[in-house]
Amino acid sequence: MSRHVELFTSALFRSRSQRPFRTLVIGNCQSRYLASLFEIALADCACDYIACHEITTDHQRAAIEAYLDEHRHIYRLILTIPLGPEWHAIGRDALIARFGADRLFFLLNLYFSGTHPDQTGLGELGTRTMSPMGGPHSKVALGGWMAGLPLPKS
């Protein structure tokens, strides 16, 4: 077995409790996958994530703030997109105040609107109006409805 494959498989199967380097990823829909990639690539990294687009209630915001307060000492690195103050505890300034700037690394916010150019979301991130198929809506159907066409014609 090559050294590269050996390192890769040892990283995959190493218990999270044996990983001394704790990292927190805060972002949108790719935060979960970025956290997983860090755990696969870095044998000493245990990586948690917060997906901001999944935060929809004040109860969730309060729970995240309590979690960050309780666990602020365990994270050596916080990778985040620069969110504004409306994001409360995970906003840029709140994170700097809680963790200090030396543990924060700001990432470019990658945004992908979907696999189809007709796809769109309705509402602000975290409070989107859901369609029968989930979050995405058809721009063509939405445009027809907004122009006053009956649903079958839009």
For the chain, residues classed under CATH 3.40.50.12080 are 19-106
Predicted local distance difference test score (pLDDT) of residue 63: 92
Q: Is the dihedral of CA 35, 134, 114, 53 positive or negative?
A: negative
Q: Spelled out in words, what is the top-level CATH class assigned to the domain 19-106?
A: alpha beta
Q: Are the C-beta atoms of 37 and 23 separated by less than 8 Å?
A: no
Give residue 113's pLDDT.
Answer: 53
Q: Name residues whose C-beta falls within 8 Å of residue 93's C-beta, 6 or more positions apart in sequence.
A: 85
| Tens place of pLDDT per residue across the chain (154 aa) | 444 444 444 444 455 667 788 999 999 878 888 898 888 888 888 899 998 888 888 999 999 999 999 999 999 999 999 999 999 999 999 999 999 999 999 988 765 555 566 777 777 766 777 776 667 777 787 788 788 887 667 6
Give, to the nearest 10 degrees, the angle between helix 3-13 and helix 31-41: 120
Asked whether the beta carbons of 11 and 30 are under 8 A apart, the reply is: no
Answer whether 81's CB lies under 8 Å from 27's CB: yes
